[in-house]
Amino acid sequence: MYCGTCMVSIEDALAKVPGVTRARVNLTTKRVSVTYDPSRTSTERLIETLDGIGFPAAELIESSAAEADARDRDFLKRLGVAGFAAANVMLLSVSVWAGVAGDMTESVRSMFHWLSALIALPAIAYSGQPFFRSALQALRGRRLNMDVPISLGVVLAATMSVLQTTRGSDQVYFDAAITLLFFLLIGRYLDQSMRTRAAGAAANLLGLKATTATVLDDDGTTQRLSARSLKAGDRILVAAGERFAADGVVEDGTSEVEESLITGESVPRRISRGATIYAGTLNGAGAVIVRTTAADQSTLLAEIARLMDAAEQGRGRYVRLADRAARLYAPAVHILSAATFAGWMVLGHGWEAALTAAIAVLIITCPCALALAVPAVQVAATSRLMRQGVIVKTADGLERLADADTIVFDKTGTLSLGEPELIDTETIPPDALSRAAALAANSRHPYSRALVRAATARGFDVVAADGVREVPGLGLECSGAGKPVSATLAGHVPERLGAPSFVGRATTTADDDTSILGYRRPDGEVVTFRFADTLRPDAREIVSTLKDAGYAVHLLSGDRASAVAAAADKAGIDDFASEIGPAGKLRRIEELTRTGAKVLMIGDGLNDAPALAAGHASMSPANAADISQTAADTIFQGQKLRPIVETLSVARASQRMALQNFAIALGYNLVFVPLAMLGHVTPLVAAIAMSASSIAVTGNAIRLKSKRLELRR
């Protein structure tokens, strides 16, 4: 399976099977996903259907890395043999060409031709097997793919050359046949390598997960078990330098975790008790004990792989266009070749000249470049974004992102981190901060976690206080030493941490973009803590970059006016609206759309689902908790907004490169097909030109993986 024609043939054949409601082929992973009614058909029947059209199939079993390496080695062997043969046959051909103009005798020329045949024919038989097998499978299934004209052209060129050699002719085309195979193998190897790496960007993530884990039993003993046998609730010991085998929460120990494969962030994250970790990330500094929350196929890593696979099964509009063009073009190749042969015969040029021109047309009109034009770009783009921590969930997501001209941000959790931070810590009495953090140590409230983080950053060893109880909706209360809350020590009152009214402070709300929490000491004194949901560190820089690139930037938030105004001012956004709920955001996006704007909505994948769906395109900053539920087309991770610029840059560049590849493929055909039909292109030149066009579109796409991109108007 190598081209759009193959994909369409498979999907059409499966769609005709009773009970099948959906069939979608993933060319990159060589897989087909079928949705069907088990009461009306079966897996066996689906496999028989695929076998019947020339595509032997089997139920999915994950292939090992060793098998993939064996396939690559086999392909490289065929490429090496073709290259060796092409070089030697070309040397002989150059000698013959030079001899024609000199005094080479007929016997010497004939010997050179037979030597060329001796080198080329075994090489063609061996190196051409991938094309020949694919063509035979297609013909058995009564269909055409792009390997049919390739195989036909190679076989005809080789056969005609043998006949010409036996007759002592001056012209043979062994060089064309073997050179065609050599360049085609180069192009296909580049394409397959890129697809393998792209598929590996998701699938190989699973390979980074530890295969075994050290499990701690209740009695303190340890045992080494397979990662597949882990389940939620297990306690595992992860040493420094090991990868985590499952998602979980740190119960004991401190370390640093390198999680670039999940978030795209290269800087290690400091972890301690209560921190969340993910399968596949690398434990860097010290041993930690982790309580697993998800294992095997339930981990974030497995979910990302599933999302990537689902996106690859889709079709963007350019991919659909290329597939249709390749499908229609395949029979046109044979029609043009037959018409060329008939035309030359009618004009009385003889069968040799007619067949030579027909072979050249057959070779030069192969739709390889057209079939590779868009998929190659799509694979390169998604692979690049995956390395940046960006997951493309929909096949046409990048195409719609490239069209966007207006960007709408949500505030909390999108423009901001969504995690309150304690501010003005230098003015807080150290003993008050330490004691308040002790009260908050076991609480999961965002403000409590912020207090613990701040105390830890100040160097305090936070130990949970005894006798703490939570008062729902108000805060935490502690009597100390495990005494009843109602009891008081001489001259002391119970400690409280919570809302200003709960601790006895008159002010209940902040008058700016901050929030207030109070801590009442045992002596009754109240210490105020101020929290701010800080903007992402590069928010202002990214907004400025987007505006410079010509995007209109808006901010919509359900937060209070003062907080939204402050956030908009810090980020440099002039157009903002506050206290606007999900329905209001939806209406605002619909209004922008009616004015002709193509809106990119960037918001919380859970709370902003209606607005995300209404936008022309959508992105979400997502952590592991909601990555599978988010409604966005594209997901980025990490604490920075830089992935937005990277994604938009890649989207625009991929659109340009897709159009460039279309231009290369179509321009090549418009120039060379008429020349070939008129007899001005030999089979050798046709082979080089066709292979060059395929390599050109693949090479152009590969540039996207490392090209420096800037977001401009």
Helix (H) or strand (E) holding 621: strand 617-621
* Per-chain mean pLDDT for the chain: 79
| pLDDT tens for each residue of 618-676 | 888 875 445 545 567 888 887 889 999 999 999 999 888 888 888 888 888 888 889 98
137-142 long-range Cβ contacts below 8 angstroms, 24+ apart: 137/54, 137/55, 137/56, 138/6, 138/9, 138/54, 139/54, 140/53, 140/54, 141/9, 141/13, 141/52, 141/53, 141/54, 141/55, 142/53
Check 410, 513, 559, 604 and give the catalytic one: 410
In the prediction, which pLDDT does 405 show?
92
410: annotated active-site residue: yes
The owner of tokens 């397979």 is 226
For residue 52, give every residue at least 6 positions away whose Cβ sits within 8 Å of its Cβ, in sequence order, or none. Answer: 13, 141
Distance CA(664)–CA(390), nearest Å, equals 29
User: Does the pLDDT at position 544 exceed 90?
Assistant: yes
User: Does the pLDDT at position 178 exceed 60?
Assistant: yes
Percent of the chain that is helix, strand, coil (3-state, to 5): 55, 15, 30
CATH assignment of 418-535? 3.40.1110.10
Beta carbons of 225 and 268 less than 8 angstroms apart: no
Is domain 397-417+537-644 in CATH 3.40.50.1000, yes or no?
Answer: yes
The owner of tokens 């009306």 is 40
Q: Do domains 4-52 and 397-417+537-644 have the same CATH topology?
A: no
In the prediction, which pLDDT does 21 show?
83
Is domain 4-52 in CATH 3.30.70.100, yes or no?
Answer: yes
Q: Where are the domains of the chain?
A: 4-52, 65-203+307-381+654-706, 210-298, 397-417+537-644, 418-535
In the prediction, which pLDDT does 554 show?
95
| pLDDT tens for each residue of 72-98 | 788 889 999 999 998 998 888 888 777
| pLDDT tens for each residue of 457-488 | 888 888 888 888 888 767 889 875 444 333 33
| pLDDT tens for each residue of 230-286 | 888 889 998 887 888 888 888 888 888 877 656 555 567 788 888 888 888 888 778
Q: Which residues pair with 389 in a beta bridge?
A: none
Among 143-152, 193-202, 654-663, where is mean pLDDT lowest?
Answer: 193-202
Is domain 210-298 in CATH 2.70.150.10, yes or no?
Answer: yes
In this structure, what DSSP letter does residue 243 have?
B
In the prediction, which pLDDT does 482 show?
40
**Mean local confidence (pLDDT), 522-548:** 89
| pLDDT tens for each residue of 489-510 | 344 678 999 878 888 865 545 5
